[in-house]
A and B are shown apart, each in its own frame.
Chain A
C-alpha cells in the first residue's frame, strides 16, 4: 500500500517538464509545436505548485498556480498572433527555414 506523497507528484512534474523540453529540441516540423511544448512545460510547473500546496497545507501554491494560468494564456495568445503574422509574410511555418539567426 503506497502512500501518495509529494514525491510522486514531483516526479510526475519533472517528467512532464522533461518531455516538454525535449519536445522543443526534437521538433523539426513547424512552429506551433514550439508553443505547444511551452504549454506543456507550464503545465508541469502548475502540477508542481498545486501538489506542493496540497501536501504542505499552504494555499499560496494554488493562488500562484492561477496566476501562472493567466500568464500562460496571455503568452499563448501573443505567440499565436506572431505566428499568424509570420505566416502572412512567409507563407509557411516550416522551422527548418528560419535560420536567419546565423547571419
Chain B
C-alpha cells in the first residue's frame, strides 16, 4: 500500500515538475523545477530498492549538472519572454502525437510482449555491494573509459570557453628552462666613487 501510494505520489510530482520545466516563464524557475524532477526520481529509485543509484543521481545530477545549469542561466542575460504567444497553435497537434505514441508504445510493449522470467540468482546484499561486485570486475574497462570521457568533457569545456588574456601572468616552463645565466645576470666591476651608465 505504502509502496503503491508513494509510487503514484512521486511519479505524479515527477510528471508535473517536468511539465513545469517546459512551461515556466522564468528560466531560473525551469532549472529549479528540473532539480525537483531529479529529486523525485531519486525518491523513486530509493523506493524501489536501488538506493545507490538514487543517491548517485542526487549527487551527480542535482549537485553537478543542475548547478552548472544554474550557473549558466545566471551568467547569461536571458530575458523573461512571453510563452504562450508562439506555442498556442502547436499544442493540439503535440497532444495528438503524444497520445498516439503513448498509446501505441504501451500497447505494444505491455500487452504484446511476453512475460519475462527472471532467472538470475538472488543474493541478499544491499544495492551498493551489488553494484560494486560487478562494476570493478566485469565492467572495469567501461568504468575507466567513463573516467576518460569525463576527463575529455572537462578539457573540452575548458578549451571551448577559454579566453586568452595577455595581461595575466603565466609561466612558460620551456623558456624558463632554456635560459642561460648570461642572459639574466651581468657582473660589472665598479670603481669606487664612480657610477654606472644605464644603457
Touch between A and B in complex, CB under 8 Å? yes
Query: Which of A's residues lie within 8 Å of B, judged by CB?
Result: 1-2, 4, 7-12, 14-16, 18-20, 22-23, 25-30, 32-33, 35-37, 39-40, 43, 46-47, 50-51, 53-60, 62-63, 65-67, 69-78, 80-85, 87, 92-94, 96
Contact B57 A81 (CB under 8 A): no
Interface of A is mostly: helix
Comparing B29-37, B165-173, B181-189, B190-198, the segment that makes contact with chain A is: B29-37
Chain A's closest residue to B154 (CB) is A77
A49 to chain B, nearest CB (A): 9
Checking B76, B81, B120 against A87 with a beta-carbon cut-off of 8 angstroms, the contacting residue is B76
Contact A19 B135 (CB under 8 A): no
14 residue pairs from A and B, CB less than 8 Å apart: A19-B22, A32-B72, A40-B18, A62-B52, A62-B130, A66-B135, A70-B146, A72-B61, A73-B64, A73-B153, A77-B153, A84-B72, A84-B75, A87-B77
Number of residue pairs A-B, CB distance < 8 angstroms: 197
- How far is A33 from B178 in the complex, measured between Cα atoms in Å? 51
A21 to chain B, nearest CB (A): 8
Contact A70 B149 (CB under 8 A): yes
A15 to chain B, nearest CB (A): 6
Chain B interface size band reads 35 or more
- How far is A43 from B42 in the complex, measured between Cα atoms in Å? 10
Ranked 7 nearest A-B pairs via Cβ: A74-B153, A23-B22, A28-B86, A81-B157, A81-B160, A57-B118, A70-B146
Contact B101 A59 (CB under 8 A): no
Complex interface residues of chain B between 28 and 56 (CB less than 8 A to chain A): 30-31, 34, 37-38, 41, 44-45, 48-50, 52-53, 56
Return chain B residues, CB-CB under 8 Å to A87. Answer: 76-77
Checking A70, A80, A85 against B68 with a beta-carbon cut-off of 8 angstroms, the contacting residue is A80
Chain A's closest residue to B110 (CB) is A7
